[in-house]
Amino acid sequence: MTFLEPTSNREFLPVFSMDWFGLLRKIKQVEGNYGILAPIHCTNNFLLSVRETGKPFFIDRGVFAKKEQPWYLQKYAEFKQGYWKRETRLATEQALRQNIAEFFDRCDRFSPDYVFAPDIIGEPLLSLHLAHLSLDEYARKSRTYQLIGVIQTGAILYNWESNSIPQSDGCLPHYNSPRCFLAALISEYRRIGYREIALGGLLQSRDDTPTGLKFGLSPEELDELLT
């Protein structure tokens, strides 16, 4: 990933994501200016070692961690009409706030420069709800790091139905283009107070590439989206 540094010269900073010591040892041999991103579920020793590199340090929630039981879901059980009904639902707001607060408290221990707000792949409006809660919890204490909003754009761009009809109770206008939806979504993140926003999910799964991934937008399409 790349990160646009909030400086007057607006230089792009390459950021390498890693979660084990083998990669960290290799990246230490690379010369130049770059950042390091680590998910919060890494060990204390690993996160401390990243901080000790002196490079710009990013932490995220880890969207792929514990996929079988995501942090934002809870199991509910209700005895109704003579039998138990069990289902998985979105966690209560109290539980979500508690989990977000614990995430920030753990981040505080490692003094990162930037922290990505928790988000959910494929759920942009739910991620916006979490962004609201995250900003509230972030502001409860004096933090040493900048909170970055996250918008997972890939699922919207690559799975868009061109003839879809927006629901009357939709939170944001969909219009007939994913870019229109993303523009409104980005504006809402700005409105609620996020200074920096990360666009995630722009790599497509592709079997015809050596890595199995490919950047899905042309330079012109990316420029149009950012504009």
Q: Per residue in 27-53, pLDDT tens?
A: 999 989 999 999 999 999 999 999 999
First to last CA, the chain: 19
141: containing domain: 61-66+97-226
pLDDT at residue 160, rounded to an integer: 65
Q: What are the residues whose beta carbons fall under 8 Å from the beta carbon of 223, sequence distance 6 or more?
A: none
129 touches 147 (CB < 8 A)? no
Q: Is residue 136 part of a domain?
A: yes
Q: Is residue 54 part of a domain?
A: no
What is the C-alpha radius of gyration for the chain, rounded to an integer number of angstroms? 19
Q: Which two tokens stand for residue 88?
A: 């998985």
Question: Which band of pLDDT confidence, cut at 50, 70 and 90, is reported for residue 174?
Answer: very low
Backbone angles phi, psi at 57, to 5 degrees: -115, 125
Do the beta carbons of residue 146 and residue 114 sit within 8 Å?
Answer: yes
Number of neighbouring beta carbons within 10 Å of residue 173: 11
Assess if residue 81 is contained within a domain.
no
Domain tally, the chain: 1
- Look at residue 63 and tell me whether its pLDDT is greater than 60: yes
The answer to whether residue 150 is domain-embedded is yes
Q: How much of the chain exceeds pLDDT 90, in percent? A: 47
Does residue 153 fall inside a structural domain? Answer: yes
Cβ count near 53 (within 10 Å): 14
Give the Cβ contact number of residue 22 at 10 Å: 8
Specify whether the CB–CB gap between 200 and 216 falls below 8 A: no
What is the C-alpha to C-alpha distance for residues 226 and 153, in angstroms, rounded to an integer? 12
Residue 210 has pLDDT above 80, yes or no: yes
**Would you say residue 199 lies in a domain?**
yes
Residue 55 falls inside a structural domain? no
Predicted confidence (pLDDT) at residue 6 exceeds the cutoff of 60: no
Picking from 69-78, 106-115, 170-179, which range would have the lowest pLDDT averaged per residue? 170-179
Query: Nearest-CA neighbor of 126 among 98, 162, 96, 165?
Result: 96
Residue corresponding to tokens 């868009």: 160
Q: Is residue 82 part of a domain?
A: no
In the block, residue with structure tokens 């919890």: 137
